[in-house]
Chain A
Amino acid sequence: MPHQVRGDAGLLKRLEGAANRALSRAASRLISSLVARNREPPAPVQSLDFGESATFQTPDTPRPDLDAQPIVEEAPDSEESAAFQEPDTPRPDLDALSILKESPDHPVDQEEPVEDDNSLMHRLAAGGRLSPPGTTLCQRLIEENRGYQPDSVLEAAICEGKFSPEDLAKIATFLVSVYYEPDADTSANESMARWVFEGLAERGVVTQELVKLCVQAMADAPCVSLTNPVQQYLKKAGGMVEEYRAMVIAAFNPDNYSAYCRKQPAAEGKRLPPATWNEWEGRDAWSHAGSDWPLADLFLELDTGGEIDILLEQELPPGVPAEHTLQYFLLRRSWLDRRESPGSLRSLGRLLRSTAARPRWKPLHDRAVLVFRDHWSRGQWGRATAMAAQVYQGLLGLQPKVDPRNAPDWLPGMSRLHLAELQRARSEGPKAAAPSEPLLLPSNEALLRRFERLRADVDGQPDNPGAWHEMAGIYRELSLWDKAIIAEDLAIEYHPNFAGAYHGRGKAKMEIHDWADAVADFTAAIRLWEFPDGLEKFLTLEEPRDEYVDSYRTRGVARAHEGDHDAAIGDVSTAIRLRRHNARLYYERAYLEERAGRAEDARIDAYNAGRLYLDRGEKEDAAECVSLLDRLGAHDDADKLRILMAARKPSDLPE
């Protein structure tokens, strides 16, 4: 302990010199003895820092005035006093080692094993925990490795596979149990634990006692150093014990979890309540206390869907914060895992109900709302309820044939809204009922013959996409849209890059007013046709085929039906770029522009369309353009077209 000194500087200087000489002699003696034993010498004495306390305690020569009142605040202890009193002569009872011990930079050399060694190896050997050969091995290691840390020796022996599987299991058991001792140093022996448990997993060594202890450790011991090796061991080898599954499930209980949470340091600050939907749905809205519970990984690996549902529905424990309940933990996992099933959704709903009334469970209830909503939306349960309504409507349709007096049983949970819509649609009747028997013209007979031939082809060669596509074309000509779609489905299935089939299916979907799917099909067709050089190649090098141009045009029409007029006009414009003299495209664009409120653009296009029609002598179509121009208020342009129409040379056929 440093002492505060008051006195003259000369006296202090002499004291410092005397002390250094005395210590140098002691250090030299120690080094000589170590060299004699062939040991590594400690650091040179010169580098020792004796500090102020040493420098003033050894006076160079005795001074008469020392007998006077010493000028120190506290009296030195007895050993220091002794050194002080006989400064120049070496004292036999002053061991150099004891002096070195006082230096904080130099550990004490362990020359002799300590009798009451508390190391794992000593405890294993002394406690008779191992088999006789294992105990003998331990004792031999202790004797042969004097001077080394006993636990390092044990670790090396484990690593070298010197222990039998049985002893290894006993060491593991001992190792795990040691972690439960009140003063256990849980940071040590991590690598030893790793070697032990890896060795056990490799050799497939399991004992019921060990597995049980490990499972318990995972359930309630927050010791990071042991967790990983034990967890890995259980994952690899735990299943070899018959009761493993039951042990894990039993340990995965609310008491263990809340106990684990209590042991966790309160790292989280107070979380602010969410203020927006984004914050409410985000990660920060969750409490993460206890989220790293080691047992949970083992539990969830067991594929215990049913058990999770049971746990979610369990009664909530009194006196436990909502965030420390097992239900909260499972909700968080469920939110991350994105698994949903009828059972889990039902359990979530029951948890919601049980937490709705009491304010103390509000955090839990709030999270259950989030998870339920996510699962419901992601699983498309709403779509299923709509399907159920459709099925019920179908059953009602069967009722007259099956049992006219009794309506079919209600389907609980079906979408009432959807059912009402279906029933309204039914009462209003179909908008444009397709004829059940297609009306065929004489020219259709050839079509039918072709159909029969194709049908035979398809029967004999069902994986021919071309045949299916051709058949779809015939179905379209016969207005059998559903069958056309199915045939194109097959063509696409056997040839996924068949652009023509996507176009054909899109055309059929247009007829049944399935605008969104039609847009998707035309987009797929365009993408395939334009691969790899895009639209440009058709504007420069290559003559675009009719189906390709029509894909743009009809996609535009579908988008117009969906209300997206700008996109629709864009598509028709592209079609015009590909077919610059197509009067119909100009007229259609004018029509769409009129609907979009772009009167000036509409006027220009309608006028151009009229001129192109007249150029081909199509007066009826040109007259439509004139009407459109009149509607737009562009009477001058309408009159110009009228003049052009009148100026055409009349037919020379006799009247």
Chain B
Amino acid sequence: MSVKSLSLKLAKAGGIDQDLKAPIGTAEDIFNFRVDPSRGWLCDRGIEPWIAPGASFTVAEVIPGLIDTLLGAKVDSLFIWTKQSTGQTYILAEQGGYLFYIWGNKGSSVASDWRRNYIILDANRHIPRQNEVGTQYIPYGNRLLIINGVDKPIWFYGDTRLRDFSFLLPTPTPDILDIEPDYLGGSNLLSGTAFPNFTTAPLGLGDRASGDSSFYAYRISFITDSGSESPLSAPIYVNWTIPDDTAAEKRFGIFFNELPIGPKGTVARRIYRTKNQRLGDSQNAVDGVFYFVKQLNDNSSTEFIDIISDTSLTAPVDTTASTVIDTAYKYGATWNGRLWLGGGLTHPTKIIYSLSGLPEQFSISGYFDVGNEKGGAITALYSYYNNLLVFREASIEVIRFNNGAFSISQVSPSVGTRASNSIQLIPSIGVVFLTNDGFYAITGGLDGGSAISVTKISSPISKEVGLISTASIAKAVSVYSEKEKEYWCHYPTKGTVTPSRGAVIHTLDTSWSLRHADSPEDSYLFNFTAMAADPEGNIILGTAPTWRLPNGNSSTPSTNTAIGHLVGLQVWSGASYWGYALTAAVGQGITYTSAKVDLPLNIYESGWIDFGNNSIKHRVFSVDVEIMSYGDYAIDLDWGQDYNSTWNSAPSQQPAKSEILFTTAEDPVFGPANPALTKVPFTVGTSALKEGRLIRIRWDVQTSLVDNFRFRLKSDKPLHLLSYNLIYDSADQLPLNQRARGTSGQPW
């Protein structure tokens, strides 16, 4: 007997397409699913804490403020740095003004030493405001530059070694003793020195005939361990005149009695001086050419005597080769063997670049200023193949290196971004970023006849894009995970400042899905404020923890009975729970008891289906779904009709083969061994393991005669959906003609 009905062709369950005329098979909303590598939509993800808290732990010594910060403050930035050629991985994060990295294993079961997981690198840092993107991390070789546009840039070596980056202060001037030739004639020594002195060339400085004036100027610089040279210090002058006394007719060594010690990271100091300018005083100094005298390969000695004669000075110094930088640079990138810094409050349209191979040395001429073109402030620098992309608020520029010179040109005069942390390079798609009106991708290059193009790619989620808060768009964060094969951008919705919804591009089939809570009340479970992927591709989530009292009022981690969700870094994984909730018990110290949090609901919601012709009426009998078998728990299906917001429930079904469900022939499932629940609990050594099988499950629905139909599948347990089919019948009823009633006016 055949069912007297029509059937859609089995439609592959596609990604989201919120277009009004989206093809059948696409979805209106998919949340918390992923694309399985072997095809289909699978929801099997939860989150687990990066450091498992155990059943409970006690903070014995409560440091005021610190516990509320580390367990209660939102994560402002997160970066996973694998130090080049060492395999060391640092999970760097910022919370409540603390910059730290965390250890995976503190090596002790003493709960009171919980703080030892945190290696704090800096404190009292600037906490980014609603429209600020926060700290940026820029690896250069086996160093890491950490900047936020406010605090001093940090140059991090790994372990606990760090120092200020580059040269933020002018180089101090050395102190030189005066030369007093009179002293040799027997006069009193007033200040300065007349030693050492020389009569034979080439040692010593100055002219030795009676009445000759000698004049020198000195400048020094510091060399850091990256090879970079500081700007030259202000000059210091020394001059003397030989008196009419044969005893004083000498050439002199010039004595530095206070050679400045360089800042941390200085490995050498260089001394430069002019040749003899033969002047009586510094007022008339004319020759400003400084020559390299000597490099001191230490940062400790404070004395130096210069006896190197003018004829030995051959290498003039370029006084423009290094300049001080300020702390306001907000964005950076490593490209072309140089460090590039740009943007920031005091110079929003300026880009500076270091000398090649010398990441801390910025020359006076090494800059671009894009302020003369429309586009607004710089919002990110991103190296892309052999180009450097310069993102601005409303445009994108590209910097290229051609014939030994850099040039800048505009790629897009109208599209730019303020969501700097949304920029990711995604294989097979290009550089993806979020703007006020959706996601764009940059593809192509500038070589070999190729052209860079900027294309909008978020048309399938146009309704979702409308929810994004443009005021807080700088708070958007993103990650690309090679393991999950997805780009995930999480953003604040309108009226909020904390990212709580996310859009995901699955690179396996470039389809879209979303990540958010089923209801706005639960959106705090999706408060992810920072994201990064570890070397294995695990997505690590920085969160905004929520602490509440049992009555629902907001609270803090140091308040008795407060319950905290999403405390500490979390990992997007196969956990069968949504992290832990910690309950505080304040007594002698604070004891936190942990409990797993139930998974939120995952939903696959179809678009409105018009059966190819919504001018006639249809009656839907059932939804027939092709899924992977997953066991004995309930999967719910809701359905709706004719653009009505009401969802009707169909009786739940199990993702198991219908013919053998609830029999002893069923595929074995994980416990409990309760015959009321399952007849086949898995027994080690007895039960045969079976592969998952492709099965068809049918939910019966009862619509009236409708022209549009939709359904959604709901589960908080794994559901692997491949395709679906609708069994329906059509009635030969044409669309109504409205004229008959239209002439009578609106009835009431």
A and B found bound together: no
Residue positions of A touching B, CB distance < 8 A: none
